[in-house]
Amino acid sequence: MWSNSGRMKNIFRLSLLGLLFLAACGGLTTSDKPVTRTWMLMPLEQAEKTDLSEPVTSIKVSVKAVPGLDSNKILTLSGDAELNSFSGARWADHTVEMLGSLITRTLRGAGNFDVVSSQADCDLKLEVQEFFAYTGSAGKATEVRIEIDGQYSCRSEKLKTIHLQASIPVHEDRMSSIVAAFQAGTERALRDLLADL
């Protein structure tokens, strides 16, 4: 009796293994979904070094986003205000974390800021208002829009309002061109930020 049960288990295992092999070879394990590609943006490379004789200012940076924009998806906005995303493409991190990192690395690269997470001489509070590719009536990306508002305050200075905005045309309907437009817009916003501080 035990030998028949053992034999049946072996036959069952071999049959199951054969079915799995046939399913794998037969295409049952393939997907029609596109491969997801991950894209990232870079900080401002040539952050101009300001006068290094000036003391280094400690600064605390906080970034948040309006509802719907804090996503790792590369978002689109249509003319009728439909928020969507490109399939098979995403950012390396959520918008808030990615932009916070770009801002932090750009400020450090400028040479006269020390970005800290606790007590600081200055506070930079930003909110992402727009960070998407605008799609025209044909559903293709025509431009990238970036808008970031916020406030910069230091202990001894008056509160300063920050408004960063960029609109960059997309020349080709390819993801690499769309990401290049995001990069150009982000660099413009970071240059304006350094000029405002």
| Residue 169, burial from CB neighbour count under 10 angstroms (0-12, 13-18, 19+) | exposed
Return the HEC string of 98-148: HHHHHHHHHHHHHCCEEEECCCCCEEEEEEEEEEEEEECCCCCEEEEEEEE
The whole-number average pLDDT for the span 57-80 is 94
pLDDT exceeds cutoff 80 at 191: yes
Measured at the CA of 31, the angle between CA 30 and CA 32, to 5 degrees, comes to 130
pLDDT for the residue numbered 50:
54
Per-residue confidence band for 47, with pLDDT thresholds at 50, 70 and 90: very low
Per-residue confidence band for 1, with pLDDT thresholds at 50, 70 and 90: very low
Return the half-sphere exposure (C-beta side, CA atoms, 13 A cut-off) of residue 86: 24
pLDDT for the residue numbered 164:
98
Whole-model pTM? Answer: 0.79
Which of 41-45, 54-58, 109-113, 128-132 has the weakest average pLDDT? 54-58
Query: Which residue(s) pair with 164 in the sheet?
Result: 148
CA-atom Rg of the chain in angstroms? 25
The whole-number average pLDDT for the span 123-147 is 95
pLDDT exceeds cutoff 70 at 111: yes
pLDDT for the residue numbered 14:
65
The whole-number average pLDDT for the span 55-61 is 89
- Rounded distance between C-alpha atoms, residue 145 and residue 127, angstroms: 14
pLDDT for the residue numbered 133:
97
Summary mean pLDDT of the chain: 86
Helix axes 175-196, 95-110, angle to 10 degrees: 50
Strands 113-116 and 83-91 turn out to be unpaired
